[in-house]
A and B are shown apart, each in its own frame.
Chain A
């Protein structure tokens, strides 16, 4: 009777793997919340340009895209935007989701088109620039204000923050690779 109550070893291992991945997703989501809140608390880098931030949460989204899959990256982006809604209201939700989804779309497109050959710097910078572009398009449509003057500083900032994000990702890449190899739980389901 005791034996019949026990799960088969393979199912036990599967459950463990699922829990491991669930915990990883929860950690990434929490991290994206914290980084997003931290980003917002910092003052604008250039006066007169709304939304000028480092885009720290982009590290987490890009990480999810590279190590998990695009669905997890979309999930983190959308859930982070909902968190932003509770924290700062519906307009911030609009800006967050428009920037986040455009950035993700460009990153996925670049990754797929280059078949994983694109460098982290270009991938991250393109994502950060698209994030800013998505935000100012939403801002312009909503507020009906001039936006051309905002494009150059946001684009330059996007490139700089994208390069910083890429360096951070490259630094943690070997550790995470080792972690995944140890847990051996998510073979072949990457962005590729």
Chain B
């Protein structure tokens, strides 16, 4: 600790604040573009669809047309999976209940933009939002 006493780290300095502000600016603008500007420009185009997969097998394709529905997901290959999916009036979809241990899918909440996804990794279930023709919309699957 002798070294730390003589070399106590500072909370911030001018150089580091500039770096942080620059990063915040870049990612802030990217955030604004992805979540506000791009969806607004895309508003008049086609209806979004939710593609629900289990291990790369398409289970269902749901139009996010504002109809409120709650249903239990049926997975033919694994009938033990218990998941409840809801579509909402604000043209979004969410996983509202799941028997997985981590509940990351439930905590993800509502998604509505093309390119967004909900993954229930323990159950191998993925919900991707795209167009009627293709999932993922933006085509940037990782």
Contact = CB atoms under 8 A, between A and B. Distances in A.
A91 B121 contact: yes
B42 to A, nearest CB: 13
A49 B23 CA distance: 20
A33 interface: no
B12 interface: yes
Contact of B118 (A50, A116, A180): A50
Contacts of A70: none
Contacts of B103: 88
Contact of A181 (B1, B24, B118): B1
Q: Interface majority SS on A: helix, strand, loop or mixed?
A: helix
A37 interface: no
Most buried by B among A67, A120, A146, A192: A146
Contact of B11 (A140, A166, A190): A166
Contact of A180 (B1, B27, B111, B117): B1
Most buried by B among A92, A137, A149, A180: A149
Interface in A142-182: 142-149, 151-153, 155-156, 159, 163, 166-167, 170, 173, 177, 180-181
A48 B28 contact: no
B111 A122 contact: no
A177 B136 contact: no
Contact of B115 (A51, A123, A149, A188): A149
A121 B141 contact: no
B23 A187 contact: no
Given A119-B9, A141-B142, A159-B24, A177 B104 contact: no
A152 B27 contact: yes
Contact of B117 (A118, A137, A146, A192): A146
Interface stretch (B29-37, B57-65, B69-77, B78-86): B29-37
Interface residues of A, number: 56
Interface residues of B, number: 51
B23 A155 contact: yes
A134 to B, nearest CB: 13
A120 B9 contact: yes
Given A120-B9, A167-B11, A89 B110 contact: no
Given A146-B115, A152-B27, A48 B108 contact: yes
B135 to A, nearest CB: 9
A143 B54 CA distance: 11
9 contacts: A91-B102, A119-B13, A139-B119, A144-B141, A146-B117, A146-B128, A146-B142, A147-B140, A152-B34
Given A144-B126, A144-B141, A163-B20, 15 more contacts: A44-B109, A47-B111, A48-B110, A50-B118, A50-B119, A89-B102, A118-B16, A121-B20, A125-B23, A137-B142, A143-B121, A152-B35, A156-B24, A167-B11, A192-B3
